[in-house]
Chains A and B, each alone.
Chain A
């Protein structure tokens, strides 16, 4: 049997799609007809046959390049199987060939809705490996910008979900707010979208008063704007009917299948690494972990909505508590020196040369550090052999793990419910495919 037919056979005999399949002999007949390219195949009972529908990889509502294979009985989904890899960029292989500093830019493109947050998550793992801690001011700035990034990511999740079920207006409103956050990043970081802001032992540059004022101005008007959007959806019968009781998953099932983040909290499990395993300065902030008990698409939407408000609270607290001081740790062999010093001092020039060309010198060992990103638990596992580049860097990407629940969530629903479920899961393919 050729390779191709082997694959086809595997598909037809895969245990995942066995439920409600036509009987074995019909399947074999169908397979044989497919292999022989015989168009004249007929069955005794044609209504017994389910239809296999391909959704994606180029589809406006699949959040990028996700492909879902659906087995349909009329309009009801019998089984679904996501197919990934259309955006597999080989991050983990690239990481093994680059120094720790070089890889920062790649983390921007992982979950491209919240680049700052990924930078910080990666740097925290590297700092854990190096046994290094950034000074308090840097930690506060990181927290502040991470939360802003979380807002901007939830805004897209929120807007796109609304658009998928038919409320286009909200997407435009969300992007209007996102542009304001982009402006803040432009001011603070120097780039509006792909930020590459965090550095080992600190951040790229200190935040200015102008930047702080811009953040404050944004926060002052944001809740009112969010409220507008909320009013638009929360009184919308269509939106409610499409999302309520759709894609329900219980707390036990959600944990077993590996959901994290807002999707898990939508099922009533109060797991939030910001509170459970605090990193950055989250242990000094006062915030609530939002949970909803229903576990349907609507619950996940509510969690995201409420989390944006919590994030606003957190950014405000960070701004109040922001301490003065340096934004770089004093570790000349690990932290990149300032540019003006490289040009004027011998020591810094040498350190810069060594760090850029050979990388920092971590001890051999394995570390794992996870943070609560807007999609779920984003973790980096670094295996170091004492070289300037990681021996192995594993990215635990929340979107990949969340997508795993999709077959379970879709089963028994109608074809059009896919959009409501997928929108509420809020996957980002850059991260899911790595």
Chain B
């Protein structure tokens, strides 16, 4: 810690990446893209028992302009896919996507003509969450995994995603 001893007490040096990552990580504002059953579990995640605000994420913003992470909760149909994509495009960078539940991740149990078999066909997804629907606990698991990923990401190139996380 050579620099800090030179500057004296009261100073802390760090990498910008670490500082920004830490700040971003603790204020992920979700855009709840509630589509079907998972939306109810997403609402349950905000209820007094599960209390999503423990992770600094209770600020649900229904405007894409104000949010950082889109939680796609539910079955995405072909008709809805264009809307989901449009909302994603409106979000400010940096932005992340959680595919909540089997339907959003892979089409789930709906193997039919109108259901998109996984939103990764038209969106870059950071975390896939298992469950139909996932319990709120598993959603928190996904959020914590996302926080880890956000913390590690670089300021300049936050998109250095290698593999999506599956929880």
In the complex, A touching B, CB below 8 Å? yes
Chain A residues within 8 Å of B, Cβ to Cβ: 57-60, 64-65, 85-90, 93-94, 105-106, 108-109, 112-113, 156, 172, 175-176, 178-179, 182, 192-194, 429-430
Cβ contact within 8 Å between A89 and B115? yes
Task: Report which of A57, A90, A108 forms a contact with B114, defined as CB distance below 8 A.
Answer: A90
**A-B contact list, 6 entries, CB within 8 Å:** A58-B83, A86-B35, A89-B115, A90-B112, A176-B49, A178-B44
Give B39's nearest chain A residue, CB to CB. Answer: A64
Contact A87:B75 (CB < 8 A) given known A113-B40, A156-B40: yes
Proximity bits, B27-55, A CB within 8 Å = 1, else 0: 00000011111011101101111000000
Task: Report which of A57, A58, A64, A94 forms a contact with B110, defined as CB distance below 8 A.
Answer: A94
Cβ contact within 8 Å between B79 and A85? yes
**Residues in B whose Cβ lies below 8 Å from that of A64:** 34-36, 39
Give A106's nearest chain B residue, CB to CB. Answer: B109
**Residues in B whose Cβ lies below 8 Å from that of A59:** 62
Q: Does B87 contact A (CB under 8 A)?
A: yes
* Pair count A-B, CB < 8 A: 87
Contact A89:B37 (CB < 8 A) given known A57-B83, A179-B49: no
| Distance, CA A89 to CA B87, complexed state (A) | 21
| Distance, CA A192 to CA B133, complexed state (A) | 10
Cβ contact within 8 Å between A86 and B79? yes
Task: Report which of B37, B48, B112 forms a contact with A175, defined as CB distance below 8 A.
Answer: B48
| Distance, CA A105 to CA B109, complexed state (A) | 9
Cβ contact within 8 Å between A179 and B47? yes
| Distance, CA A278 to CA B119, complexed state (A) | 44
Q: Does B19 contact A (CB under 8 A)?
A: no
Give A112's nearest chain B residue, CB to CB. Answer: B37
Q: Does B92 contact A (CB under 8 A)?
A: no
**Residues in A whose Cβ lies below 8 Å from that of B37:** 108-109, 112, 193-194, 430
**Residues in B whose Cβ lies below 8 Å from that of A89:** 75, 77, 110, 112, 114-115
Cβ contact within 8 Å between A94 and B111? yes
| Distance, CA A112 to CA B80, complexed state (A) | 19
Q: Does B132 contact A (CB under 8 A)?
A: yes
Cβ contact within 8 Å between A88 and B114? yes
**Residues in A whose Cβ lies below 8 Å from that of B39:** 64
Cβ contact within 8 Å between A93 and B47? no
Q: Does B135 contact A (CB under 8 A)?
A: yes
Interface residue tally on B, bucketed by range: 20 to 34
Give A194's nearest chain B residue, CB to CB. Answer: B132
Task: Report which of B34, B47, B112, B135 forms a contact with A172, defined as CB distance below 8 A.
Answer: B47
**Residues in A whose Cβ lies below 8 Å from that of B35:** 64-65, 86-87
Task: Report which of A87, A108, A112, A179 forms a contact with B77, defined as CB distance below 8 A.
Answer: A87
**Residues in B whose Cβ lies below 8 Å from that of A58:** 33, 62, 83-84, 87
Give B50's nearest chain A residue, CB to CB. Answer: A179
| Distance, CA A113 to CA B112, complexed state (A) | 23
Q: Does B113 contact A (CB under 8 A)?
A: yes
Task: Report which of A108, A175, A194 forms a contact with B43, defined as CB distance below 8 A.
Answer: A175
| Distance, CA A54 to CA B5, complexed state (A) | 61
**Residues in A whose Cβ lies below 8 Å from that of B133:** 193-194
Contact A87:B80 (CB < 8 A) given known A64-B36, A94-B112, A176-B49: yes
Interface residues of B in 106-135 (CB under 8 A from A): 109-115, 132-133, 135
**Residues in B whose Cβ lies below 8 Å from that of A176:** 47-49
**Residues in B whose Cβ lies below 8 Å from that of A179:** 44, 47, 49
| Distance, CA A260 to CA B35, complexed state (A) | 25
Nearest Cβ distance between residue A118 and chain B, in whole angstroms? 12
| Distance, CA A192 to CA B49, complexed state (A) | 14
Nearest Cβ distance between residue A145 and chain B, in whole angstroms? 18
Proximity bits, B69-85, A CB within 8 Å = 1, else 0: 00000110101100110
Nearest Cβ distance between residue A172 and chain B, in whole angstroms? 6
**Residues in A whose Cβ lies below 8 Å from that of B80:** 57, 65, 86-87
| Distance, CA A79 to CA B38, complexed state (A) | 32
| Distance, CA A229 to CA B146, complexed state (A) | 36
| Distance, CA A59 to CA B35, complexed state (A) | 10
| Distance, CA A112 to CA B115, complexed state (A) | 18
| Distance, CA A112 to CA B103, complexed state (A) | 14
| Distance, CA A112 to CA B44, complexed state (A) | 13
In addition to A87-B36, A88-B114, 8 A-B residue pairs with Cβ atoms within 8 Å of each other are A86-B80, A87-B75, A88-B77, A89-B110, A89-B115, A175-B46, A193-B37, A429-B36
| Distance, CA A59 to CA B63, complexed state (A) | 9
Give B41's nearest chain A residue, CB to CB. Answer: A193
Cβ contact within 8 Å between A86 and B77? yes
Nearest 8 CB-CB pairings of A with B:
A90-B112, A175-B47, A112-B37, A60-B62, A86-B80, A89-B110, A90-B114, A179-B49
**Residues in A whose Cβ lies below 8 Å from that of B132:** 194
**Residues in B whose Cβ lies below 8 Å from that of A57:** 80, 83
